[in-house]
Structures are given as structure tokens and as C-alpha cells.
């Protein structure tokens, strides 16, 4: 897949994933990887940026195995941002789809 | 690349970030790698999935709105330079130490030579006041020589009267009286010269002393006058202040003037009596010495004609 496509949608997928339930990094990477085949490393910078922009909150929770995990939680601003992104995405992909369907090959 | 190397490499690229942020991000990645390893992957495989470290670091830095190129420039240019700089710094340090050592050695030698010079100066200065004494000693020496000559002459005359071979002895001793006369003339001339030198020296000494004392006196009197005048003006200003005039600044200035001139007066006064007393003592000593010299000169001059006569 075109990496430019991935990059744009990745944010939406991450936000949607965390909206369902709070997740820690590795879990989130696995979740996202189900949808988009993405370099695992690139999700962490995205998480960092979204945290810096106050769409995510983080907290530590003890795990049964290994050190405590950092969980990501979507804030109210994050939910709004997620809704906006979803709307943009659906409108965008509808228009693109419509355009693609309307094309008649002569 | 194993986990530690990967984290180290990534940390190097993220050096621009705050250390808390660095540990945060590196912690995330190390946890991720640990998870992958626990899922059955090797360290190599786990880190390979992240792709190029520099690209990853660039993405992380972008999340902080940091220009990744800046870090690249830094890592490319400045980090090797630090090592170079430390080497250069060590070299520079060594050269500075060497320079300082050299300087200290030079300073020591120069200082020693200056000390020698100062010592020599002091010696020469110290020798000046004792010049009359030296001359006096020299005169004494000359005198003894003269007496010796005199004694010789007396002996010779005795021998002349006692010996029957007068002509032979005369022919032998005839040059002696002439030489003695010339010698005596020479010595008397020398004494005259010495006396005149002493006289000039003393005159100069006195003149300088007098001028110095007069100068000190004048200065101290002047400063006393200044103190009195400024004290008067100061008192006047205080009364004016009490009457409500805005002359606080002037009063302060006058106070300063009073303090200044007063302290200067005290300074001069402390100088003046000290100098005067010392000078007086010295002068008394000189006077005594001079008297002795003059007496001796008189004795000498009194002796001279006798010697001539004897000769």
C-alpha cells in the first residue's frame, strides 16, 4: 500500500482503537497492525504527538508480567478530534469513491 | 542489532530532547522489544521491524516539532568535534602549562635581577650619606702615609747629620726632598679637592632638606587653611539646612572636603616633625663629624709646613 495513505489514516485508526478501551503501546501496535500494515516504530512517535497535543492521557498500571505498562486513554478533546477525523475521512473516501465510480472509460 | 545497541543508537539521535522524554520513549521501545521477545522473536528480529533508526528518530522528533535535520547536523558535525576539541583542549592545556612554567621561570630570573638592581641601588644610596665618613677614613689613611713619609724624612736627616759621607748620601738622598715636597703638594691639593667636594655635597644636602621641609610646611599650612575654610563652610551649610535651604548636596561635599583636607593635614603633620627630628639628629651628627674633620684638616695643614720645613 502507498505509505502516504497509511500515514494519513493511521492517526484515525489509533484514535478509534484507544476510544474502545485504554491500551498500552504494544497492544495498540498489534491492534493497528491488524488493520494497516505499518512499521511498528512509527506508532510510538504518533502516540507521543497525540499525547503532547492532549488527545491522550497516559497512566501506569501494574502488569502480571514484567514492568508496569503505560496505558493510553482518550481525552474529551481526543474524542472530539477523533469524531472530526472520522467525519473527514468518510466524506473524503465517499467523494473519492464517487469520483472513481463516475469515471467512464471511453 | 541487539536491543541495547538499538536503544543506545536511538538515544544518541534523540539527544536534543529532554532527558525525561528520552527515557519515556526509550522505555516504550524497550518494553515493545521485550514483548516481542516474550512472543518468541529474537532481539535482532524485534529491532529489525523498526526499520532504520535514523528514520525512526526523525519521526519521533517530528512529533515534538523538532527539525530532525538539526539533529543530523549536530551528530554529523559537532559530536566528532567534541572528541577533537577535547584533544585540542588537552594540547592547548599542555601548551598553556608550558607557557606558564616558562613565564614563571622568566619572572623568577627577571625578579632576581630586579632585586639585585634594587639592592645595588640601595647600597649606592646608603653609601651616599656616609660619603663624608669615607672621605674622612681616606684622609686618615693619607695622613698616616704622610706621617710615614715624615718619619722617613726625619730618619734621613738624622742619617745625614750622623754620617760623615755627607756628599755621597746627599747625592743619594737629594731627590727625596723634592719628591716629598711634590708629594705633599699633591696631597694638600687632594685634601683641598676633597674638602670642596664635601662642602658642595653638604650644601646640596642642606638645600634639598630645606626645600623639602619648606615644601612640607607649606603644604601642611595650606591644608590646615583648607580644613578650616571647609569646616567653616560646612557649619554655614548646616545652619542653612536648618533654615530650610536645599543645600544638602553642598553640605555633603563640604563634609567630604573637611574629612579629606583634615586627613591630609594629619598626614603631612605626621610627616613633618618626624622628618625634622631625623634631619636634626643627622645634621647634628654631620656637624660633629665635620668639626672633627675640620680639626683634623687643621692639624694636617699645621703638620704640612713642618714636614716641608723638615724636608
Q: Quote the percentage of chain A above a pLDDT of 90.
A: 42
The pLDDT of residue B38 is: 86
What is the pTM for the complete model shown?
Answer: 0.42
The pLDDT of residue A76 is: 94
For range B169-193, the mean pLDDT = 74
B239: pLDDT strictly greater than 80:
yes
What is the three-class DSSP state of A56? strand
The pLDDT of residue B166 is: 45
Q: How far does the CA of residue B54 sit from the closest CA of chain A (Å)?
A: 11
Q: Quote the percentage of chain A above a pLDDT of 70.
A: 99
Q: Which of B13, B32, B33, B46 to mutate to test the interface with A (most CBs of A within 10 A)?
A: B32
The pLDDT of residue B51 is: 81
Q: How far does the CA of residue B90 sit from the closest CA of chain A (Å)?
A: 41
For B213-226, what is each residue's pLDDT tens digit? Answer: 888 888 888 888 99
Instruction: Please name the member of A44, A65, A66 whose beta carbon is closest to the beta carbon of B25.
Output: A44
The pLDDT of residue B273 is: 53
Q: Nearest residue on chain A to B35, judged by CA atoms?
A: A26
For range B250-262, the mean pLDDT = 89
Cell numbers linked to A34: 491488524
Instruction: Please give the C-alpha separations between residue A76 and each of A15, A80, A82, A88, in angstroms, as whole numbers.
Output: 12, 6, 10, 18
Q: Nearest residue on chain A to B52, judged by CA atoms?
A: A41
- Cβ of A49 within 8 Å of Cβ of B64? The answer is yes
Highest-scoring range by mean pLDDT, B36-40, B206-210, B302-306? B206-210
CA A91 to chain centre: 18
Domain A3-102: assigned CATH number = 1.10.10.10
Whether the CB of A6 is below 8 Å from some CB of chain B: the reply is no
Q: Going by DSSP bridges, is the β-strand pair A23-24/A56-61 parallel, antiparallel, or unpaired?
A: unpaired
Indicate the pLDDT class of residue B136, thresholds 50, 70 and 90: low
* Domain locations in chain B as residue ranges: 3-66, 131-310
For range B14-36, the mean pLDDT = 86
Instruction: Please name the member of B36, B38, B59 whose beta carbon is closest to the beta carbon of A42.
Output: B59
E strands, A5-98, are 23-24, 56-61, 69-74
B162: pLDDT strictly greater than 90:
no
Q: ipTM higher than 0.90?
A: no
The pLDDT of residue B76 is: 56
For range B233-256, the mean pLDDT = 88
Indicate the pLDDT class of residue B168, thresholds 50, 70 and 90: very low
More confident residue, B7 or B157: B7
The pLDDT of residue A85 is: 93
Q: Quote the percentage of chain B above a pLDDT of 70.
A: 67
- Closest residue by Cα to residue B208 from B198, B219, B216: B216
Transcribe B121-179 into DSSP letters.
Answer: HHHHHHHTTTHHHHHHHHHHHHHHHHHHHHHHHHHHHHHHHH-S-HHHHHHHHTHHHHH
B153: pLDDT strictly greater than 60:
no
The pLDDT of residue B43 is: 83
Stretches where chain A sits below pLDDT 70 are 106
- Cβ of B59 within 8 Å of Cβ of A25? The answer is no
Whether B135 and B197 have beta carbons less than 8 Å apart is answered as yes
Q: Please, what's the b/e burial string for B86-107 (b: 16 or more CB within 10 A of its CB; e: otherwise)? A: eeeeeeeeeeeeeeeeeeeeee
Whether the CB of A54 is below 8 Å from some CB of chain B: the reply is no
The pLDDT of residue B103 is: 92
Sheet with A56-61: strands ordered across: A23-24, A69-74, A56-61
The pLDDT of residue A96 is: 92
* Domain locations in chain A as residue ranges: 3-102
Q: Which of B27, B58, B63, B71 to mutate to test the interface with A (most CBs of A within 10 A)?
A: B63
Amino acid at each position: 500500500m502507498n505509505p502516504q495513505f497509511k500515514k494519513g489514516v493511521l492517526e484515525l485508526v489509533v484514535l478509534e482503537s484507544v476510544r474502545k478501551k485504554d491500551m498500552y503501546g504494544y497492544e495498540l501496535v498489534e491492534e493497528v497492525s491488524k488493520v494497516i500494515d505499518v512499521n511498528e516504530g512509527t506508532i510510538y512517535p504518533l502516540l507521543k504527538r497525540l499525547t503532547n497535543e492532549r488527545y491522550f492521557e497516559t497512566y501506569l498500571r501494574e502488569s502480571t508480567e514484567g514492568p508496569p505498562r503505560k496505558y493510553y486513554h482518550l481525552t474529551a478533546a481526543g474524542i472530539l478530534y477523533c469524531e472530526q477525523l472520522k467525519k473527514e475521512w468518510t466524506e473524503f473516501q465517499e467523494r473519492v469513491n464517487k469520483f472513481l465510480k463516475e469515471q467512464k472509460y471511453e | 542489532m541487539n536491543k541495547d545497541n538499538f536503544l543506545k543508537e536511538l538515544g544518541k539521535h534523540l539527544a536534543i530532547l529532554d532527558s525525561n522524554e528520552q527515557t519515556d520513549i526509550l522505555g516504550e521501545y524497550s518494553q515493545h522489544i521485550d514483548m516481542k521477545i516474550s512472543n518468541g522473536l529474537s532481539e535482532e528480529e524485534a529491532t529489525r521491524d523498526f526499520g532504520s533508526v535514523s528514520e525512526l528518530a526523525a519521526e519521533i522528533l517530528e512529533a515534538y516539532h523538532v527539525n530532525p535535520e538539526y539533529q543530523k547536523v549536530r551528530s554529523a558535525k559537532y559530536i566528532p568535534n567534541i572528541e577533537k576539541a577535547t584533544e585540542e583542549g588537552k594540547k592547548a592545556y599542555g601548551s598553556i602549562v608550558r607557557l606558564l612554567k616558562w613565564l614563571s621561570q622568566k619572572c623568577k630570573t627577571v625578579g632576581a635581577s630586579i632585586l639585585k638592581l634594587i639592592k645595588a641601588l640601595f647600597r649606592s644610596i646608603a653609601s651616599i650619606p656616609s660619603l663624608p665618613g669615607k672621605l674622612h677614613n681616606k684622609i686618615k689613611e693619607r695622613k698616616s702615609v704622610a706621617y710615614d713619609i715624615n718619619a722617613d724624612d726625619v730618619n734621613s736627616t738624622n742619617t745625614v747629620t750622623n754620617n760623615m759621607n755627607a756628599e755621597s748620601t746627599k747625592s743619594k738622598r737629594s731627590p727625596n726632598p723634592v719628591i716629598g715636597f711634590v708629594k705633599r703638594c699633591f696631597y694638600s691639593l687632594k685634601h683641598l679637592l676633597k674638602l670642596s667636594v664635601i662642602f658642595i655635597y653638604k650644601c646640596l644636602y642642606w638645600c634639598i632638606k630645606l626645600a623639602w621641609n619648606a615644601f612640607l610646611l607649606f603644604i601642611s599650612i595650606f591644608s590646615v587653611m583648607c580644613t578650616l575654610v571647609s569646616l567653616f563652610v560646612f557649619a554655614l551649610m548646616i545652619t542653612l539646612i536648618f533654615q530650610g535651604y536645599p543645600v544638602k548636596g553642598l553640605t555633603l561635599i563640604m563634609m567630604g572636603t573637611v574629612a579629606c583636607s583634615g586627613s591630609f593635614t594629619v598626614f603631612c603633620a605626621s610627616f613633618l616633625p618626624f622628618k625634622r627630628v631625623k634631619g636634626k639628629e643627622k645634621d647634628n651628627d654631620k656637624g660633629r663629624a665635620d668639626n672633627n674633620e675640620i680639626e683634623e684638616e687643621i692639624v694636617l695643614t699645621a703638620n704640612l709646613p713642618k714636614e716641608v720645613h723638615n724636608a
